[in-house]
């Protein structure tokens, strides 16, 4: 997989012009959703490098991350004369960068694209690492390809207009990066004041977080081994997210990941000795900022069923990424149904829900 260039922007206009210059093209497209068309496009559409760009707009939110929206993007590209030498800029959160990346990577067998993530979640996770795709048949990211953007431009200025819940959602992925990296980075993330956000300090944490993800992706772009570290919290987290959706009370991805981290660190403690004090400190931070996803024991089987769809599973065995310590990653750790039920019990008791 080609290495993508990740730029922490100090001047988006210049950085974008340079990124576009590096991709000779005949036509330029910019993909936005209804939200980023209103809030973010006005910040870049007057740039000289964007003057010729043709805008394609899609519905906002995960419900639009589907095959109908994909067909709409392909159709707009085709109707507006896109060729294999065209270039697309995806301006938005993870839904836009995932779907836009997939549309670009499949149109005429693949055109180049640039990501400009506008949410914290997209900056530290979705837009980096080349995973693209859409939801299908009720399953998240079921169809897609690994295909990196040419460049990812990260400008934390966009975060100033992001609501607190969405900041927290992205922050859960940063916490995950802290757990898989160093005790120092994990500790500074737990210390960060989420109630009084210092955006300059956040920018420095974002840069570190992206670096951690980039290092892992470079070692294992196609998730054959160590990239599974990035799934910490996601086996249970995705099940929470799917159950919440089924119950018509959707939750933000990062919230589900934070709650999943609680379960999976507890299992890490039991199975591979993750220290109890670090489990307690992480749980405390999550409980304070993310609250609790409420469910009862009648829903355990449904959660288990969702976990059986996890992409890390092998021959019907549910596999987890666990931590022996902060930074000590243990991939491919199988869990029995009883162990999963025990994790869910622990979660409900310790989170008080």
The residues assigned a catalytic role are 109, 131, 173, 213, 223, 227, 231, 234, 238, 253
- For ligand GLY, what does the binding mask look like between residues 274 and 313, x meaning CB under 6 A? ----------------------------------------
For the bound state, the minimum distance from the C-beta of residue 121 to ligand GLY, rounded and expressed in Å, comes to: 10
Decide: is 131 part of the binding site for ligand GLY (CB under 6 A).
Answer: yes
Closer residue to ligand GLY, CB minimum distance, 311 or 348: 311
Closer residue to ligand GLY, CB minimum distance, 47 or 146: 146
Decide: is 227 part of the binding site for ligand GLY (CB under 6 A).
Answer: yes
Decide: is 176 part of the binding site for ligand GLY (CB under 6 A).
Answer: no
Decide: is 125 part of the binding site for ligand GLY (CB under 6 A).
Answer: yes
Decide: is 264 part of the binding site for ligand GLY (CB under 6 A).
Answer: no
For the bound state, the minimum distance from the C-beta of residue 182 to ligand GLY, rounded and expressed in Å, comes to: 19
Distance CA 341, CA 335 (A): 10
Cα atoms in the 13 Å half-sphere on the side-chain side of 293: 33
Number of residues written out for the chain: 353
Closer residue to ligand GLY, CB minimum distance, 129 or 254: 129
Closer residue to ligand GLY, CB minimum distance, 72 or 130: 130
Q: Which two tokens stand for residue 114?
A: 């640039």
**Cα torsion for 267, 191, 206, 208, to the nearest 10°?**
-80
Decide: is 257 part of the binding site for ligand GLY (CB under 6 A).
Answer: no
Distance CA 265, CA 269 (A): 6
- Residue identified by tokens 């990424």 is 321
Closer residue to ligand GLY, CB minimum distance, 81 or 225: 225
Residue nearest to ligand GLY (CB): 230
Of the candidate residues 101, 129, 133, 144, the single one contacting ligand GLY (CB under 6 A): 129
For the bound state, the minimum distance from the C-beta of residue 214 to ligand GLY, rounded and expressed in Å, comes to: 11
Instruction: Quote the DSSP letter at residue 3.
Output: P
8-14-19 Cα angle (round to 5): 70
Residues 6+ apart with CB under 8 A from 130: 1, 4, 101, 146, 147, 148, 149, 217, 221
Contact 268, 275 (CB under 8 A): no
Residues 6+ apart with CB under 8 A from 337: 304
Of the candidate residues 30, 121, 230, 239, the single one contacting ligand GLY (CB under 6 A): 230
For the bound state, the minimum distance from the C-beta of residue 230 to ligand GLY, rounded and expressed in Å, comes to: 4
For the bound state, the minimum distance from the C-beta of residue 131 to ligand GLY, rounded and expressed in Å, comes to: 5
Distance CA 195, CA 218 (A): 34
Q: How far is CA 159 from the centre of its chain?
A: 15
* Binding range to ligand GLY, per CB under 6 A, among 11-19, 41-49, 124-132, 327-335: 124-132
Closer residue to ligand GLY, CB minimum distance, 30 or 172: 172
The DSSP annotation for 294-346 comes to ---GGGHHHHHHHHTT-TT-BTTBEEEEEEEETTEEEEEEEE-HHHHHHHHHH
Helix then strand count (H, E) for the chain reads: 14, 10
For the bound state, the minimum distance from the C-beta of residue 65 to ligand GLY, rounded and expressed in Å, comes to: 15
Size, binding site for ligand GLY by CB under 6 A: 5
Binding site for ligand GLY (CB under 6 A): 125, 129, 131, 227, 230
């Amino acid at each position: 997989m080609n290495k993508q260039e990740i730029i922490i922007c100090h001047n988006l206009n210049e950085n974008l012009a340079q990124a576009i210059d590096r991709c000779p093209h005949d036509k330029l497209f910019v993909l936005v959703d209804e939200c980023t068309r209103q809030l973010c496009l006005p910040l870049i559409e007057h740039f000289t490098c964007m003057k010729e760009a043709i805008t394609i707009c899609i519905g906002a939110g995960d419900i639009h991350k589907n095959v109908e929206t994909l067909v709409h993007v392909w159709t707009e590209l085709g109707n507006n004369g896109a060729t294999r030498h065209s270039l697309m800029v995806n301006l938005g959160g993870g839904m836009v960068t995932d779907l836009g990346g997939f549309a670009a990577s499949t149109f005429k067998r693949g055109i180049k694209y640039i990501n400009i993530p506008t949410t914290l979640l997209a900056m530290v996770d979705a837009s980096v690492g080349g995973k693209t795709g859409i939801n299908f048949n009720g399953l998240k990211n079921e169809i897609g390809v690994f295909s990196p953007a040419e460049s990812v431009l990260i400008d934390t200025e966009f975060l100033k207009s992001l609501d607190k819940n969405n900041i927290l959602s992205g922050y859960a992925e940063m916490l995950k990066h802290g757990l898989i990296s160093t005790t120092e980075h994990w500790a500074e993330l737990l210390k960060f004041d989420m109630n009084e956000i210092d955006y300059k300090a956040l920018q420095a944490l974002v840069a570190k977080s992206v670096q951690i993800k980039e290092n892992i992706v470079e070692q294992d772009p196609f998730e054959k081994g160590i990239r599974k570290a990035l799934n910490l919290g996601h086996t249970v987290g995705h099940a929470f997210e799917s159950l919440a959706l089924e119950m018509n009370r959707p939750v933000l991805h990062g919230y589900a990941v934070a709650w999943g981290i609680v379960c999976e660190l507890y299992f890490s403690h039991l199975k591979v000795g993750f220290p109890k004090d670090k489990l307690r400190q992480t749980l405390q931070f999550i409980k304070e900022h993310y609250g609790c996803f409420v469910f009862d024991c009648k829903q355990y089987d449904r959660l288990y069923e969702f976990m059986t769809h996890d992409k890390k599973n092998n021959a019907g065995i549910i596999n987890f990424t666990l931590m022996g310590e902060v930074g000590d990653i243990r991939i491919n750790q199988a869990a029995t149904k009883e162990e999963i039920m025990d994790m869910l019990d622990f979660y409900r008791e310790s989170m008080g829900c």
